[in-house]
Structure 1
């Protein structure tokens, strides 16, 4: 039957009749029995027969019989049979005559959304939806969204949005659906979805008052997702004047509702809110003096904002709003958008582009040894001296995903039975809760070599664990450098991994500061290059050496930094996929006879693309159980952990944007945590973490980590392990003493000019 599907459709009526008799016998004679092997064999034949029936383009009566048979299979309790039934029913959607027959099983298909693997049911509902049942299907998807796995919420939202757009009985229902989607799954909603609803509202005058009223209703709620703030602020900025006669909808009240959300939004949303303020002020003619002063105060506040977009809007809106009635023409309503093809459908196609073959290739690449640290005691063949590395480094290899015996023989299972987490091990329990799990760590190196975690007295790039490939293990200073840095470079880098602004490097002539903003998989860093002296710094060069997983663009750096001046160099960052590799700034300058070259790690590290995600037991346990084992769920016993109390460890994880969920694990010595990872290729992925500590020995623990991406699971596990084992604290790190300062001149107390000069 499989072979016959590779041939053209049979036209000979006698042959077709004979073949259909055989197929009819198979369809009628196959049923579910108790013998598992017989079931597997007969169902293999049955589903191949169904495929051949579709290939031969059988009569409508036989097609309907196939649909009825599949309807029985999707109603059984055996998940494998139900999965195959849904898959084959999805294939039958290409036959136009059977779509009405498939609709009769809509209730059972919706019930299949509760299966652990809902993708087949979702694909089938998506394919069978039309104008007659769109409302019911979309409403079911909206209801299911609250309890869906995190890994499926983005696809669920996308497909619900597409169905609402294609089959909306009226546009007001479409607006309702999109706003509900954003409310229920804001973090998993792409910007394309709310862009589309704005386009519909802008292009339909009759829809604008309704959309403005709904926007006010949603924005008036106490907890609002940031995407909801964006879409509602835009709609209210453009059309809130249409609600002016309704109670509670005066310009001052609308402004107050929007402005309440300003402190909680990121810098990407602030420009949109400023536009809404300008529009509200424009529609308030003659101006309300109190409202005008409030908005002008906000514009003035952001006139000096570091973000160029915010600063420009604030400056321009403040100037425009002072032009009186003329602002009505300048800030008129947005014109109608040209009709264009929806980008949401393309988004759905992109989401399915990751084929099984690509996944296999990714997994194979993950199984290769990963040189997280590079051996430093090798000399180049050209006879040149080796670069100066700090500490003695060794090779850290990734575990072999196929060999589960060494590292994953005792998989930790979280069970929600009786409200407790039960430990299911293959070995009998011992007195020491971790004694049966202490296997060799995957750390190797030269014979007799040990990994050094102490700071070295050599000034330069310290051997911090965030340095994870050859491009990042570089000397901070060239051998000819005579200028010593002020402060410990490793400690400065580590501090910037935890916060978004501070000093990256400083010496007697220059100070390099960083201010960063992070949103999902994107980041914006600004390098502040400050000349500390009364002579210029010349031959200034800055080169970014990005790892493969980061896309980085830096603006031009001036060749000269004037005396006592500071220049700013914006740097845009896009995270493509999970990795611990670190970008390097290769910076050089000349001061007098000193030529200084430094190489510094940039704090665009893995945790910057995490967002803490507190979860409840109802959300955590189904997700945890869905990851059955390697490579999506990895476990390792970690030795050499820096002894710390459990609250200190919880604070450490929290500082790396990993949210602790207290109370999920009844064992008080354990931690359960979760976070969301963002990248351009993988979008949002939920990561779940469990750490089991031994109260008798704080230097060892067992860590289990799970996510929907094998690369992310391994990289985040190694990242957390590095923080627990080797990151030095500020108190532990020896800080080189700064150069001796020149003696302070004695200033007469009554000499104001001398006092001012000293302050400057």
Structure 2
């Protein structure tokens, strides 16, 4: 990195950047070398004239050195800190002049914005922080798309590190306006910034603005918008009605772009907070009654009414028969997974509302002849369960589902996967200061609505009563069940895949497979596998072409 040849220094710096991302401790000595080389280029003007690019000295190595310094915490050595501070101040001073040449402007901005990211990362140079806060406000209003993009990204970085969001909130109207920018990349950065700058004081306004924009948003960013709106709604909800209203409205508006994690999370929170259950049941019933109801809302309605429909059975317009008719009207137009949820709700209705048992039995009988094997089995089992002379087993099986165990929101897991990149590692994540508390692995806090109820309402599920769709070991029976809410994303990746069979071995194959397999290694046709239920035969056909020489 100290080589006199700038090309060699640039190559070595690129190599060190790649290595330091994964093994920073082993290359810690590069920090002082990077700080020293940066100062020699900017302040001492130690560079060959061939490396002066449109009056910007060695912009490529400047950017790499500034990025490399971000992979390490601020130095405690005053000498090294002075080197970095002097270089950064020089960059800010040079950027005061707005060049008319496009190439010079691009090179200067590349260095400037990387310097801004380093200043934010250091978070110790308060004088420099004040300077960049003012400049970023101008950058996000620039006529140049690239400058607006970089300004929004840098301001998002600032929101991830700053102790207060007040300097950023001053530009909230402009940031919201960026959602309507002609360039989709700028719209994405505006969305990231709004998500990062959101707190208790402005959450309802930002969520409202995002919902309004969602109706006309580009399809490429709708799913990400839905995720972020759902997270903000959960994170900053202090009013139970607001949370339910926004969540259901969000799913109603963007149903096709709502991932399973979103509606799973809504059900988890409603189940774990008694204050939400009555209001959620009342509202979801109105959505299901509507002529046009998205299938995701039907799934939510099936689960919530099956669990909490009895809480509103005495309310006007919410009688058991009205709940039944609302769900029955959506059966034929739904996918099999949604139909399975509704059938599971109906067996709960048999237990809760015996006065409508004949109508429920009729549905079970009809579905016991369906061509869908999973639905047919479910209907037959429910029909048998409801036909027992006593209701003891029915009451046991249909007991209320236990609260879900508290865990990291799967919404956050999905969002961070969407922000994954194959480029240089980021030294921060989108999501504000709380998402960047643990800089080593960017751990995120578990979100819940316990602030609403003031207590933890989510104990571990009872082992004696795991619930209607849990097996005897408390495990999920499948994603199509109501307990599909036991989201895979909540588990660490190493646990998530350990139960899958190793396809590279024969351990998962049926017994006796070797006989047919070994014969077919040398024969063109034969029986691969045979038992009392099935016979699998194989016939190989090949064509041979002979090439004639000259």
Superposition TM-score tier, normalisation by shorter sequence: 0.5 to 0.7
User: What residue in structure 2 maps to residue 314 of structure 1?
Assistant: 379
Deviation at 1:40, TM superposition (A): 2.3
Deviation at 1:180, TM superposition (A): 1.8
Q: Which residue of 2 aligns with 1:342?
A: 409
Cα distance in structure 1, aligned partners of 2:299 and 2:529? 34
The Cα shift of 1:16 comes to 6.7
1:353 aligns with 420
TM-score (norm 2): 0.61
Distance 1:30 1:180, change over 3 A: farther
Which residue of 77, 81, 88 maps to 2:147? 81
Residue correspondences, number: 371
Structure 1 counterpart of 2:189? 120
CA distance in 2, matches of 1:137, 1:93: 15
Higher RCO by CA contacts (8 Å cutoff, separation 6 or greater): 2
Aligned partner of 2:321 among 252, 262, 276: 252
1:64 aligns with 2:125: no
* Distance change in 2, residues 1:50/1:296 (3 Å): same
CA contact (8 A) 1:83 1:120 kept: yes
SS at match of 2:201: coil
Select which of 91, 108, 111 maps to 2:174: 108
1:26 aligns with 2:91: no
CA distance in 2, matches of 1:296, 1:56: 67
Alpha-carbon contact 1:237-1:276 (below 8 Å) kept = yes
Gap change, CA 1:161 and 1:55, over 3 Å in 2: closer
Which residue of the partner structure matches residue 262 of structure 2? 193
* Residue in structure 2 matched with residue 330 of structure 1 by the alignment: 397
Distance 1:194 1:4, change over 3 A: closer
Q: Within 5 Å, which residues of 2 pair with 1:568-579? A: none
Deviations 1:189-211 (A, max 9, x none): 11121111111111112211000
1:253 and 1:541 mapped to 2: Cα distance? 58
Decide which of 559, 562, 567 is 2:531's aligned counterpart: 559
Mapped to 2, the partners of 1:205 and 1:4 lie a distance apart of: 52
Are residues 336 and 6 of structure 1, via their aligned partners in 2, closer, same or farther at CA, if it must alter by over 3 Å? Answer: closer
Kept after mapping to 2: 8 A contact 1:30/1:42: no
Task: Note if contact 1:63-1:98 (Cα within 8 Å) is conserved in structure 2.
Answer: no
The CA deviation at 1:34 is: 5.3
Structure number with higher strand proportion = 1
The offset of 1:176, in angstroms, is 2.1
Correspondence list, 1:391-402, <5 A: none
2:539 is paired with a residue whose SS is strand
Residues 189 and 60 (structure 1 numbering): CA distance in 2 closer, same or farther, change over 3 Å? same
Q: Is this contact kept in 2: 1:113–1:122, CA < 8 A?
A: yes
The Cα shift of 1:84 comes to 1.1
How far apart are the structure 2 equivalents of 1:4 and 1:272?
54
- Indicate the residue corresponding to 1:39 in structure 2: 105
Question: 2:540 and 2:277 mapped to 1: Cα distance?
Answer: 57
SS in 1 for 2:78: coil
Deviation at 1:74, TM superposition (A): 0.7
**2: distance between equivalents of 1:15 and 1:193?**
48
Equivalent residue, structure 2, for 1:205:
274
Structure 2 counterparts to residues 187-586 of structure 1, below 5 A: 187-284=256-353, 287-288=354-355, 291-323=356-388, 325-326=391-392, 327-355=394-422, 559-560=531-532
Query: After superposition, what is the alpha-carbon deviation per residue over 1:174-195, rounded to whole angstroms, capped at 9, x for unaligned?
Result: 2222212211221221112111
Cα 1:200/1:18, change in 2 over 3 Å: closer
Go from structure 1 to structure 2 and tell me whether the alpha carbon gap of 1:314 and 1:56 turns closer, same or farther (over 3 Å shift).
closer
Structure 1 pair 39/336, CA: closer, same or farther in 2 (3 Å)?
Answer: same
Give distance in 1, aligned partners of 2:530 and 2:360.
Answer: 37
Distance change in 2, residues 1:76/1:242 (3 Å): same
Matched, 1:11 2:78: yes
Equivalence for 1:96: 162
CA distance in 1, matches of 2:423, 2:288: 42
